[in-house]
Amino acid sequence: MFFFESIPWYNVFMWFVVFGLLIGLNEVARSSKWGSVIIFMVIPIVLTPIWFFVVDSELTSWFHWVKVYSALAGSIIYMVIRFTDFHKKHPWYLILVPLILAINIAEAVIREFQVGIMGFEGVIDGMYYISGGWNYVNAIAGILNLLLICGWAGIYATSGKKKDMIWPDQTKLWIIAYGVWNIAYVYACAPGNAFYSGFALNIAATVPALLWAKGTWMQNRAQTLSFWMMWVMTFPYFFATGSTFNVSVSYNPAANWTIALISLGLNVFLAIWQVYRIMKFRLHPLKDEIWKGTKEYQEIQPLQERTAS
């Protein structure tokens, strides 16, 4: 295969198990305040000593530590918006939403540059790596994606049984551009997990946002990433090289280049379109909702009108 080596049936089965669990746990967190508290606050406190003293540190690099706690921080920050009125009394709080997203993207960009500059070749942190120019191409795509975060002033929380944080200005194009960039990043910088944390993890956050929970992608992403990173920290050998459930990437430079170039192309296209709207409508990129008035925005906006009362 072009992107992966052979994928046995049990790996396909495990992919759907991972995908299903991520979707299911995300729905539990969406449906329950106390479920969110237990998942994102109580369980990490219980697991942290295990991560420090029990888990093999050779398979948990600095990036894993930063990622698990930054994802959890994002989930908790979003819980405050979902379950309290703090952000209404203190509008500055909303800046934390794009900030935590930007930090997560920046972490991956730094790692991408590290892999490229240090010339990772061979087994490192329990995974086999190859490095090349694609690392720099995708790092640039990540920087673009970070700079194109917009419209956070319009973030709000719904009422009803499921309390979601909604970001109307976070368009499908941005979500797809992010997803492809992140898949390219994982493919190059965490190749042992690419089959699961590259594809399953990104799709699990995107499907609800496109189908039954529009506008929730940022919330879904933080929550599913938190689930995944807690699993990886607790069971680092589960998908490591040599594991039954590991699916090896092809280590074909052409595959790395293909994903990286698609990632860059999507983010360049998004940048052009976004700059066009900013100039045409004379918008302030740090204050205004850039996509307000579009059909996609209006599909989410009526929800705000119904729940604001």
pLDDT of 245-297, one tens digit each?
A: 888 899 999 999 999 999 999 999 999 999 999 999 999 988 889 998 888 88
3-state secondary structure of 110: helix
Alpha-carbon distance of 74 to 97, in angstroms, equals 7
Q: 60 falls in which pLDDT band (50, 70, 90)? A: low
Question: pLDDT at residue 240 above 80?
Answer: no
Asked if pLDDT for residue 134 goes beyond 80, the answer is: yes
Of the candidates 268, 193, 194, the one whose C-alpha atom is nearest the C-alpha of residue 238 is 193
CB 283, CB 231: distance < 8 Å: no
Percent of the chain with pLDDT over 90: 67
- Domain positions in the chain: 25-307
Residue 223 CB-density burial (10 A; 0-12 exposed, 13-18 middle, 19+ buried): buried
**Alpha carbon distances (Å) from 302 to 46, 81, 153, 166:** 41, 19, 17, 12
Does residue 306 carry a pLDDT above 60?
no
The predicted structure's pLDDT at residue 227 = 95
Read off the pLDDT of residues 170-227 as tens digits, 9 standing for 90 and up. 999 999 999 999 999 999 998 878 899 899 999 999 999 999 999 999 999 999 999 9
What pLDDT, on the 0 to 100 scale, is given for residue 63? 72
d(CA 202, CA 217): 10
pLDDT value at residue 6: 84
